[in-house]
Amino acid sequence: MNGLSEDEKQPDKSTSPRGLLLKTIAVSLVGLLVIGGVILVANDPERNKNYDPVAAEQAIRAVREFNRKKEQETKAGRKPTAELRANAARTLDTGNFKVAVRDLSIIIQHDPNDIDSLLDRAEAYIELGKYENARADCDRVISLNNEIPTAFALRAMARLAVGRIDDVIQDCNRALGLAPNDADAYFTRAEANLVNGQFRAARADGDLALKADPARKAEWYCLQGKVLQASGRNAEAEVQLTLALNEDPELWDALSQRAIARVNLQKFDDALEDCGRVIAIDPEAGEAYAVRAAVYAFTDRPEQALEDIERAVQFRPNDIVVRLYRAAVRFRASQLDKAVLDADFVLERRPNLLPARLFRAMIRLESNNLAEAVSDLDAIIRMAPQFVQAYQIRAECYRRLGRMKDAEKDLQFISRLEEELNNGE
């Protein structure tokens, strides 16, 4: 089950350093924006239909009265009521994650061992991008009961967001040991394998997830698109991501990834449209501003690019995806010294994050620091022997160094990998 027609199995032809940079941007985001459905909160636009101002005013008064009573109870030291628990559940379901965290924290303050509330708060923290807080809540649950698969699955999501890939795989394996049909765990493990360049393992996990839950066809298509995008095959990726959005138009993970594929294909207007749809849903979606900044940069609109990328950094100052995008914008502006600083920022925090190391190698190649670039690429290939872009860029380094035999070896290896992927091996 590979979802690809024979006509779609043609790799992209761009091999120039600038063309490779575009591919590198796509790889940099695989596994980092893979939880776009988590990071880019998808508030449902359907909620705004059938608006009743009288009912809305009554609801506002009811909420104010509820909050007043809750504050009185808290000040008096009374335990949270069932009403407070129900309100926490409602706010979580409706995407009001800040309020959910507030209410759940009151509950947990009175009962630090409330497993359900800890798990709910961990989920809310992930939605808010507070991954260490989420991990801490999951750790607490696991210390209380180490046989709850949801705790391991949520911790895996939090760890995926900060690049702790080996830990992600361990947590997913633990979750699947407790719940063998947990589609979430399969998809999360697939994303981790994708970041590691293990494309066949990623696709196998996607197939297992779909088998466990056939209703998740949209996410399966999305995963196929990411695998293709990571392989530099952006036209095929766009097809798969569009199929995902046909299944579920609100799968913002697919929408954000399609924007990246369209950047790489130089379909800039389409990419801008995808970014705009994400930002309309979440005006603080740092990643969407970052992608749009890259579009502006590559269409020679530097002022708009810099404005958007700084806005992205403002919303997510320590987000490694956003910092990699700023490196890309600076790269485009020929600010190579500043670009490498952003790459260094990421690698100081996540030394084994392959996409960041690949991106730094690309910057070093463009700066003609060829020995340093090869050193980065050698490290990547040791960790992920199937990482196609590493071989592509190293081949270019070898060519510039005059090591033509070594360059040819890397290009031949790329051909074998692409043939294996085409054959679904």
Q: What is the pLDDT of residues 270-317, one digit of tens each?
A: 999 999 988 887 787 888 899 899 889 888 898 899 899 999 998 888
Note the pTM of the prediction, 2 decimals. 0.61
- Of residues 7 and 132, the one with the higher pLDDT is 132
Token reading at 293 = 């900044």
- The whole-angstrom separation of Cα 67 and Cα 345 is 42
Token reading at 249 = 């138009």
pLDDT score of 369? 93
In a domain, 285, yes or no: no
**What is residue 47's DSSP assignment?**
G
Rg (the chain; Cα; Å): 23
pLDDT score of 56? 44
pLDDT score of 25? 37
pLDDT band, very low/low/confident/very high, at 424 (cuts 50, 70, 90): low
Q: How large a percentage of the chain has pLDDT more than 90? A: 47
In a domain, 166, yes or no: yes
Contacts of 128 (CB under 8 A, 6+ apart): 97, 98, 101
pLDDT score of 44? 29
Q: Mean pLDDT, to the nearest integer, of 13-31? A: 37
pLDDT in tens, 312-361: 998 888 787 788 889 888 888 888 999 999 999 989 888 877 778 888 99
In a domain, 144, yes or no: yes
pLDDT in tens, 7-21: 333 333 333 333 343
Torsion of CA 54, 59, 60, 62, to 10 degrees: 130
> 271 and 259 in contact (C-beta within 8 Å)?
yes
- The whole-angstrom separation of Cα 213 and Cα 277 is 28
pLDDT score of 5? 37
> 220 and 28 in contact (C-beta within 8 Å)?
no
Contacts of 94 (CB under 8 A, 6+ apart): 47
Q: How large a percentage of the chain has pLDDT more than 70? A: 80
- Of residues 212 and 54, the one with the higher pLDDT is 212
In a domain, 299, yes or no: no
SS3 call for 384:
coil
pLDDT band, very low/low/confident/very high, at 136 (cuts 50, 70, 90): very high
- Of residues 4 and 209, the one with the higher pLDDT is 209
Task: Supply the range of the domain harboring residue 168.
Answer: 75-178
The total domain count for the chain is 1
87: CATH: 1.25.40.10
Predicted confidence (pLDDT) at residue 397 exceeds the cutoff of 70:
yes
- The whole-angstrom separation of Cα 321 and Cα 298 is 18
In a domain, 206, yes or no: no
Least confident of 298-307, 347-356, 374-383, 400-409: 347-356
Least confident of 157-166, 173-182, 400-409: 157-166
In a domain, 372, yes or no: no
In a domain, 87, yes or no: yes
In a domain, 322, yes or no: no
- The whole-angstrom separation of Cα 286 and Cα 220 is 25
pLDDT in tens, 61-77: 554 454 545 444 444 44
